[in-house]
Every structure is written in structure tokens, then in C-alpha cells.
Amino acid sequence: MSLIIALCIGLAVGLLLQANKIRLLRQQLTEQQLRDALTGLYQRPHLFTLSAREVNRAQRSQSKMAVLIADMDHCAEINAHHGLHAGDLALKRLAESALKSVRDFDLVGRYSGEEIALVLPDTDYKGAMVVAERLRNNVKQIPITLPNQSEFYISITIGLAAFDMETETFEDILVAADSALQSAKKMGVDRIEAFPASIPVVSSSLNPAPSP
């Protein structure tokens, strides 16, 4: 009888472990479907869903929130001069730099082709500017090395908007950040522009030398 009980317990444990394994695999598959294959960042629809929740939370708690939209400078020239693979490497560098520039609970997603969005809960205008400047500097510090060992540097231009009104939605703050980005691009590259204030940053060339 004890042998039968032991076998039953062993079978039950095995089935439980198998069920947990299946559950974890399903979670991993779902997570992969929600992330961009190239960068590993959240895909746009999922980013919007999570960000809308953060806006609702910020409205309830009357807390601050900011959004950055970062756009790769000279992306077409990078692809034309170095090839499409170089463009992919540049976008991956931007994604990696963005993740290193934010906190664990901040949201980072692929917004469009060579643009990414950073959603910063509990962050005011000044805090968002610190993150934007950190990202702008981080992304251009290390050269991107191609398989043929040639190297190039990248830079980004950033639009920033801070959320501080109960009536605003995530779409509202995205429009504001995108408006700031378009204004920045009209004035040059490698710079930050905030909505509605104008905070220009000195531009640099496509292949700037790293700081000593």
C-alpha cells in the first residue's frame, strides 16, 4: 500500500511540475509576442496599453508623468552608407541605451521605424530632462562595429513632454512629445526639445569622436 501511495504522490508531483512548465512556456511565448523582435522592446500596441494605465494611475494619485520620443539621426544615411544591417545594429544600440537610462518600472517601446518612446511614471519635467540628457549622451559614447570591423557613431534627437493635467490622455502627451521632436528636427540633430519650452542642445556630426 505504501508503494502505491508513493507512486501516486510521485505521479502527482510530476504532473504538477509539467503543468508549471507549460504555464511558464505560455508566459514566455506571450511575452515574446508583446515585444519587438529586433530590439526586445515593447511593441507599440502593448506600450500604449501599459501607458494608458499609468496615465490613469497618475490622474488618480495626482502625480507627474513624462514621455520621451527618441529618433535616430541620419538613419537613411546610415543604411545607405553602411547597409541595412548597420541600421539594425544602430536601432539595437538605441534600445539598449534606453533600457540602461531608465528605472525598472519605466516603460520603453518601439514607437515607429527608428523611433522609440520612453514613458516615465512619477517623473516631472526636470527629471525627464535628466533622463533625456543621459540617453542622448549614452547612445553616442561607444562606436558600433560592423562585421568588416569598420565603425560608426550614432546620435539621437529627443522630444519631451510632461503630463500634469487631469484631462490629458496618453495620446495627448504623445502628440505633445512628437510635436517637440518635430520642432527639434527642424533645428538640427543630437538635441532635446521640450514641449512647450524650447531647450536646445548643441548638435554634433554623424560620427562624433567619443569624449576623452
Model pLDDT, residue 14: 61
Give the residues of the chain that fall short of pLDDT 70: 1-33, 164-167, 197-212
Q: Look up residue 87 and give its three cell numbers.
A: 541600421
Model pLDDT, residue 113: 86
CA–CA dist 166, 73 (Å, integer): 34
Element (H, E) at 212: none
Sign of the torsion formed by the C-alpha atoms of 202, 205, 211 and 212: negative
Model pLDDT, residue 3: 61
Q: Look up residue 33 and give its three cell numbers.
A: 509576442
For 140, what's the count of Cα atoms within 13 Å in the CB-facing half-sphere? 23
DSSP string across 153-198: ---EEEEEEEE--TT--HHHHHHHHHHHHHHHHHH-SS-EEEESS-
Model pLDDT, residue 26: 46
Q: Look up residue 61 and give its three cell numbers.
A: 494619485
DSSP string across 7-60: HHHHHHHHHHHHHHHHHHHHHHHHHHHTB-TTT-SBPHHHHHHHHHHHHHHHHH
Model pLDDT, residue 7: 60
Type of residue found at 204? S
Q: Secondary structure of the chain: what % helix, strand, coil (to 5)?
A: 50, 20, 30
Taking alpha carbons only, the member of 126, 212, 201 closest to residue 158 is: 201
Model pLDDT, residue 207: 41
Model pLDDT, residue 34: 86
> pLDDT tens digits for 142-195?
999 999 999 999 999 999 998 866 667 888 899 999 999 999 999 999 999 999
144 CB burial (10 A radius; 0-12, 13-18, 19+) = middle
